[in-house]
Structure 1
Amino acid sequence: MWHWWHRFWRRWYPYMIYPPSPPPYQSQQQQTQQPTYPPYPYYPPPPLYPPPLTPEEELAMLEDYKKVLEEDLKEIQEDIQSIEKRINELREYLRKQGRQP
């Protein structure tokens, strides 16, 4: 059940970008030369997901999220229909040309 919550917050609250941490301080008394390595990539911590305060707030958030997902689904279905139409056009063209795939 946590999947909807994760997707909801990932969609509405993207990861915050933090500046990389400063390099550690090295004293001047160090006599041995250590090899230098490239810095590790910095990954920001994932955002904290505060739970809703009341069931009413959770219900409102879920209803809004459902609307957004339904809109996305509608757009994807329209894309699929246009792709299927183009596939049929190309098959018809190739059939008329005598080059059946």
Structure 2
Amino acid sequence: MSYWWYRIFRRYPPPPPPFYPSMYPTPYQQQIPQQPQQTQQQQQPYQYQAPYPQPAPYYMPPPPFIPYPTTPEEELAMLEDYKKALEEDLKELQEELKAVEERIKELKEMLKRRGSSQY
């Protein structure tokens, strides 16, 4: 099974949720009513205007398209690169595991010194 795509897509976060316009009124500026020329004329209701246009949503660019390997040599090179990347990840995880185990050991010793030997 080939997981060459794993290293590529792992670097790209998922896109943000889609942008939906707000159902609630935006902050508005009141339109200054003009002086009525006639007393029988009805006043226009205030119009709601957004103080600034809403920005367009930001989307991550799509990951670069990498075609499937066409020859066995290309597939071999790709798998070797993937193996190296996995080995590096494994080393980092092993170092992290050692640090966690050391901290667990320190905490157990601290609890034993306090007299609450639950472990």
Instruction: Give the Cα separation in 1 of the matches to 2:54 and 2:69.
Output: 44
What is the one-letter code of the residue matched to 1:89? E
TM-score (norm 1): 0.61
Of structures 1 and 2, the larger Rg is shown by 2
What is the one-letter code of the residue matched to 1:68? A
1:85 matched residue in structure 2: 102
Q: Specify which structure has the higher proportion of helix.
A: 1
Structure 2: gaps (5+ residues) = 13-48
**Contact between 2:69 and 2:75, CA under 8 Å: does it hold in 1?**
yes
**Contact between 2:4 and 2:78, CA under 8 Å: does it hold in 1?**
no
1:7 matched residue in structure 2: 6
Task: Map 1:17-28 onto structure 2 (within 5 A).
Answer: none
Aligned structure 1 segments of 4 or more residues deviating by more than 4 angstroms: none
Which whole-Å deviations, capped at 9, do the CAs of 1:50-100 have from their partners, x for residues lacking one? 222311111121012112201210221121012111111111112111245
Shift of 1:37: 2.9
Instruction: Give the Cα separation in 1 of the matches to 2:64 and 2:7.
Output: 12
Superposed CA RMSD: 2.6
Instruction: Give the Cα separation in 2 of the matches to 1:42 and 1:58.
Output: 32
Number of corresponding residues:
80
